[in-house]
Amino acid sequence: MNWNRYSHVILIYIFLLLLIIFASFLDEVFFTLQNFKNLLIVALPLILVAFAQTIIILTSGIDLSVGAIVSLANVICAAVMTNEPWGFLKGVLIALIAGVLTGAFNGFIVSKGRIQPIIVTLATSAIYGGIALMILPRPGGTVHVGFARTLTGSILGISTPLIILILTGILIWTITRKTPFGFSLYAIGGNELAAFSTGVAVDKIKLFAYTLAGFLCSLAGIFLAA
């Protein structure tokens, strides 16, 4: 391993470990399994959004609309779900479709419109946030009780948020490090013109990257509803 290359990452983890040890001395409840489970439940939506933003950053872009997409998926779940036996399905499906469509719209404008991502996503952030407010202008709605308990509970004794985190992390790592799409992301981020010259379908890769980011943000919004 090239320690010089990964030294900054190693230092981050060392600092995190020291912070955990220090916090455990301040509060005896901190270093417990239940507390880490609670922290994971709170942090999982942010982690999913971080995965989404990472994919966009790999293309040398930025997505300022991730928070608005999360909000949109969240309010769709609250507005559409019911407490009927399968009342959560419609809310989840519509939220996922909304995430995919909003992400695809971002990617389409960025790739075909040749507009800087920061400008596009700043504008679409206001649009998606406005739609979310139109759907649910004030606190309210319904979230399926069984759905919420399942997502925030455990499966076969294993924390559901932990399962989601591991599966999503493996999926994103595999996509970005082991597939032609992932190699194309790095190529575009390194030098878009050179990537295009070597045959990379830049527009298609960007479109799919933003679509995937929207999908991950919708997952974050769905979990946040739970």
In a domain, 20, yes or no: no
- The mean per-residue pLDDT over the stretch 124-129 comes to 96
Helix residue spans in 27-116 (DSSP H): 33-58, 66-80, 88-113
Closest by Cα among 44, 35, 34, 36 to 169: 44
Alpha-carbon distance 214 to 109, whole Å?
Answer: 14
**How large a percentage of the chain has pLDDT more than 90?**
53
pLDDT at 69: 96
In a domain, 60, yes or no: yes
pLDDT at 204: 94
Categorize the per-residue pLDDT at 63 as very low, low, confident or very high, splitting at 50, 70 and 90.
Answer: very high
**Residue 91 burial class via C-beta count within 10 angstroms: exposed 0-12, middle 13-18, buried 19 and up:** buried
Name 194's Cβ contacts closer than 8 Å, sequence gap at least 6. 187
Average pLDDT, the chain: 89
In a domain, 22, yes or no: no
In a domain, 116, yes or no: yes
Q: Which two tokens stand for residue 214?
A: 């929207």
Name 18's Cβ contacts closer than 8 Å, sequence gap at least 6. none
Alpha-carbon distance 86 to 22, whole Å?
Answer: 45
Residue 158 has phi, psi (to 5 degrees) of -105, 135
Q: Indicate whether this model's pTM tops 0.75.
A: yes
Assess whether pLDDT exceeds 70 at residue 1.
no
Find residue 154's DSSP bridge partners: 159
Range of the domain at 104: 44-225
pLDDT at 2: 60
CB of 99 within 8 A of CB of 125? Answer: no
**What 3-state DSSP class applies to 142?**
coil
Q: What is the pLDDT of residues 140-193, one digit of tens each?
A: 778 888 888 888 888 877 888 888 999 999 999 999 999 999 999 999 999 889
In a domain, 38, yes or no: no
Q: What is the pLDDT of residues 8-56, one digit of tens each?
A: 888 888 898 888 888 888 887 877 778 788 888 888 999 999 999 999 9
Report how many domains make up the chain.
1
pLDDT at 122: 96
